[in-house]
Amino acid sequence: MSGGLDLGDVFAARKAIAGIAVETPLVGSAALSEAAGVEVLLKLETVQPVGAFKIRGAANALANLDAQARARGVVCASTGNHGRAVAYAAAELGIRATVCMSELVPRNKVEAIRALGAEVRIAGGSQDAAQAEADRLAAEGKTDIPPFDHPDVIAGQGTIGLEILEDFPDVDTIVVPLSGGGLIAGIAASVKASTRSVRIVGVSMERGAAMKASVDAGHPVEVVEEPTLADSLGGGIGPKNRWTLEMVRALVDEIVLVPEEAIAAAMRALFFEEGWVAEGAGAIGAALLDKPHVDRLGRRIAIVVSGKNIDMIRFHRIVAAAGGAD
């Protein structure tokens, strides 16, 4: 497995997170399959206790802390879902948590983290500014739990890949939302270690896709964060990225960027066809079910629906609109 992780790390993570994260359903979608002309199954990370996949990586990272680190408390930077996951897992394990967030994070995500008992610190207008505050607190003694670039976090997210292969062994392609790369790196690593025949495709928004820019450049690239329906995919990959960039370059078969109107259409498709609420970042994989993308994906597709944490007033406005960012 690339980056020094092996399949044993993912199986160990599966044991470590049991009781905090859940094994999520992989459900068929007759309506989306008929419209796309291929078999489509949806991996519903929306049913996790925090409404998103991030609980897997956070729970694994916290479970692996020693007693001294637990006593000092943990800190993380987050665009919302990672912070919520760290707060939830920390509460379950009796660990104090501080979550650093930028001013761009939607208020509903900030309040959800506070409700779980974590301290929230708002720092600047970018994810990098939030990470700088987390770094400062880590230098004072707290243990930093990175949102993606950490082997325990990656291994935790990789448990999704194990579940997909068990439930859908004939899958041709797994479509995964792409931001900092922890989710797709974990899934790709666990899947590719089991079978090389499955394609892994990452999807991100056209506005500020840091991993795509970094893969193209061959090194971490800073991007300007812009408002997007897929706000959970915002932020950079970190100037000292050690794990995910290398793993994405080595293991991901294709990265596709989609416009705002395609993200909105994907959110509407999941809601109106299947009744699933998904935030923009969670729904983005369904944007590849339209031509010309779907023609390259094979006949059996699993799409990771990674999260549902969106303000419902905003969600209803998006699904009722003609498309585009609001």
Residues with a catalytic annotation lie at 54, 306
> Quick check: helix, strand or coil at residue 240?
coil
The first and second tokens of residue 113, run together, are 């983290």
**Edge-to-edge order in the sheet of strand 143-144:** 119-122, 97-101, 74-77, 143-144
The first and second tokens of residue 104, run together, are 């761009």
Q: Is the dihedral of CA 27, 31, 34, 36 positive or negative?
A: negative
Cis, peptide link before residue 220, omega less than 30° from 0: no
**Rounded alpha-carbon distances, angstroms, from residue 21 to 44, 57, 93, 274:** 13, 9, 13, 24
Beta-carbon-side half-sphere exposure of residue 228 (alpha carbons within 13 Å): 27
In the block, residue with structure tokens 């090194």: 219
> What is the chain's Cα-based Rg?
18
